[in-house]
Structure 1
């Protein structure tokens, strides 16, 4: 039987991947000028990003940032998660975009463009999920 927190992290992984993939496709299309390249990059990321995001969620679930033994759920934690995820995600995007486009500069441009859009999207994704009780046995205060 799967632990309830695993179900939450899987659901968060799927919803974030949908948002993130759409953003990647649009940015890759704009930067490369080719919608097919945008689709290829976006689709290639689906598997790598879902796996990496799940690992990121599990790591943060195990990190205890408070003094009283409870997991700190705050805007500061969400901001920290946003930055750590963006580092992992941007590196993955740059490598995939470089491989698919054949141009390292295209990979860099797409990666740097994503830094801004994805951090904003991810922060709001985290805030929305913070308000959802799915996969929580109880809300930690």
Structure 2
């Protein structure tokens, strides 16, 4: 199996595992902020599809821009932090938009998005560090990592 196929499977599984964590976080935050568990569920489950697609695209982009001249992936804590920030910007805009549409209130969308910036960045960074230690989908890992 080619490296490309391995990496695609890795990115799909990473997207699924992060989406599970992210959806639980969104449901809980939306419930707390709106006071309505049904609204929390609507927001959380609506964003599953959009976030899975956006996360996969984000992973593919970071994979392509992070190869050295020999095609080997470079890794670092700075890279994970940069991925955390860029993903959070995309993810928060998606959550704020969906929350606004579902609740009809732009202020509620801003509140949910504002709180989740903190919780999601922490979850994403931890998720990245865990996946950094997992070899699933990697043919070989650089010894300089």
TM-score (norm 1): 0.95
Contact 1:63 1:71 in 2 (8 A): no
Shift of 1:4: 0.7
Give 1:15's aligned residue. Answer: 17
How many residues matched? 141
Distance across 1 between alignment mates of 2:64 and 2:121: 22
1:83-102 to 2 correspondence within 5 Å?
83-102=85-104
User: Unaligned regions of 5+ residues in structure 2, if any?
Assistant: none
Distance across 2 between alignment mates of 1:79 and 1:116: 13
TM-score (norm 2): 0.92
Shift of 1:64: 2.6
Give 1:113's aligned residue. Answer: 115
CA RMSD of aligned residues (A): 1.6
User: Unaligned regions of 5+ residues in structure 1, if any?
Assistant: none
> 2:48 pairs with 37, 46, 49, which one?
46
